[in-house]
Structure 1
Amino acid sequence: MKFYPNKKRRPPRHFIPNILTLLNMFLGFLAIVLILNGQPLKAGVFIIIAGLFDVFDGKIARMLGIASRFGVEFDSMADTVSFCVVPSVLVYSLYVDGLPPLLGSFIAFIPLMFGTIRLAKFNVEQETGKPKSYTVGLTTPIATITLFSYVFFNHQIDGDFGDPRTALMVVSGLGILMVSPIHFAKFPLFSFKSGRTNSILLVGFILSIISLAIWQGFILMPLVTVYIGWNIISWLIKPHRNDSPSELDS
């Protein structure tokens, strides 16, 4: 009889990041189910929560010193579901009626197409370069939340989900931004000792969460519009930022 030494068990805290990633993916799956059942507003709430899980899984992994290649790849798989498949299903469900089937399907495919390209580029960048204080191209979570913000805003104003023509322009613009060379500020570190820019972003994030809790659907679209517009203008004014260590976002 052979005896094998017991493998060293990992502390339970080592599983926290992957559990958060699984929750991100699960909420993405639930969002798809909700959209297909005619409940895109509830789906949007789940996607916002999934976005928070996507932020915190990586942060916790790095804080615990257990960041791994598996974690990066697993996170991208979850993001593909929540922030690539979900927006494509949303577009197909709400905005392509009346279009030729093939054209409508292609337009709905845009978030999935550009989103997966964006995630693949992100993974390659992590292999070939050091962490930077910005991402090149709009991240998939922000792009998806921006699309849902359009849904929320129009439902609050008019009780519908917005003009399909405008929605399709938003979808196309977000797709281009995801694969563009524009630099977008990353999610801030939870510290006021990490520089002036990080402190400003952190205060902005806290105020955004408070505003979102108070004004809900009215405020999300202005918030993401300001974020995207501010980063585009900053990049046009100063296209080559200094690289500095920061958190990784996809």
Structure 2
Amino acid sequence: MKSYIPNFLTLLNVFSGCIATVFAVLNHLEWAALFVFIGIFFDFFDGLAARALNVQSDIGIQLDSLADVITSGLVPGVVMFQLLSMAERGGWNLGFIGHDAELTLLPFVGFAITLASAYRLAKFNVDENQVSSFVGLPTPANALLILSLPMILLYHDNETLNNIILNPWFLVILTVISTYLLNSPIKLFALKFKNGSFKDNGIRYLFLIGSLVLLLTLRFLAIPLIIFSYILMSLIDGGGKTT
């Protein structure tokens, strides 16, 4: 019976991703972000549960990646599509972009994130070396980066930030950077603690403490800084080579 618990948590990730997709399509980006956060929560604990119960399975690995394609791949692509659509229309608009709206090709660039996420997850499934570290930015981290943009627009209400985020060039460049990071050769440490020792997990403790401080002081604006710090600390640490 216990073998079903991790897979059930993964399916809750799938369900959260489905709900987030609906909200993203309807341009309710705040709710889309909330359910992506919930999905990533389940994504973290399904693996934790599998290791704690010693019930890791090939089905669980495949199911986990399929769930991430939705929650951390499709949803960020739809959100970037919506942001690019708003950028073209010249402003922040949470209304539904219906079938009668003028549709151009530029917003579809956002789905490059979905394609890159799917490719990254497929590579991860056949790569046996990504255990204590990752090669390329994990899809949940990338999803948090993209989903932080509408949350910054909603909760920081800064004209300068709004103008930057809703600039089409900024969004296109960010999409290109995102797709590169997902499939880059950069080694990044994983947040997997083999023990409680600070000596063995110093980089992880520093990252988590720093992230908490940034979140408490900068709120959603902290998320891009946390992702940048994660990449920078991994480069300095050699992708967790000391683990």
User: TM-score by structure 1 length?
Assistant: 0.78
Number of residue-to-residue matches in the alignment: 224
* Alpha-carbon separation, structure 1, partners of 2:201 and 2:60: 25
Matched position secondary structure for 1:181:
coil
Give a deviation string over 1:51-95, Cα, whole Å, max 9, x none. Answer: 121111112101111000000001111011101111111111221
Give the distance between the partners of 1:190 and 1:151, measured in 2 at CA: 36
Q: 2:236 maps to what in 1? A: 234
Which AA in structure 1 matches 2:83? L
Q: Which moved more, 1:159-168 or 1:54-63?
A: 159-168
1:219 and 2:222 aligned: yes
SS of equivalent to 1:192: coil
Q: 1:170 aligns with which of 171, 174, 179?
A: 174
Contact 2:20–2:36 under 8 Å retained in 1: yes
Residue identity over aligned pairs, in percent, reads 28
The aligned counterpart of 2:94 is none
Q: Shift in Å at residue 192 of structure 1?
A: 1.3
Alignment match, 1:53:
42
Equivalent residue for 1:158?
A: 158
Residue 7 of structure 1 corresponds to none
Q: 1:219 to 1:15 in 2, by over 3 A?
A: same
Does residue 185 of the first structure (1) align with residue 174 of the second (2)? no
CA distance in 1, matches of 2:224, 2:185: 23
Structure 2, unaligned runs of 5 or more: 90-102
Q: Contact 1:138–1:178 (CA<8 Å) still a contact in 2?
A: yes
1:37 lines up with 2:36 in the alignment: no
Q: Does 1:73 align with 2:62?
A: yes
Match of 1:124 in 2: 126
Larger radius of gyration: 1
Return the alpha-carbon distance in structure 1 between the equivalents of residues 233 and 129 of structure 2.
Answer: 25
The structural deviation recorded for 1:207 is: 5.6
Residue 192 of structure 1 contacts residue 199 of structure 1 at CA under 8 Å; is this kept in 2? no
Q: 1:211 to 1:104 in 2, by over 3 A?
A: closer
Aligned to 1:247: none
Aligned alpha-carbon RMSD (Å): 2.7
Preserved contact between residue 114 and residue 175 of structure 1 (Cα < 8 Å): yes
After TM superposition, the runs of 4+ consecutive aligned structure 1 residues lying more than 6 A away are: none
User: What does residue 108 of structure 1 align with?
Assistant: 110
Q: Using the alignment, how far apart are the partners of 1:57 and 1:20 within structure 2?
A: 5
- Pairwise CA distance, 1:211: 5.2
5+ residue gaps in structure 1? 1-9, 245-250
Q: Which of the numbers 203, 207, 211 marks the counterpart of 1:208?
A: 211
Letter in 2 for 1:132: V
TM value normalised by structure 2: 0.80
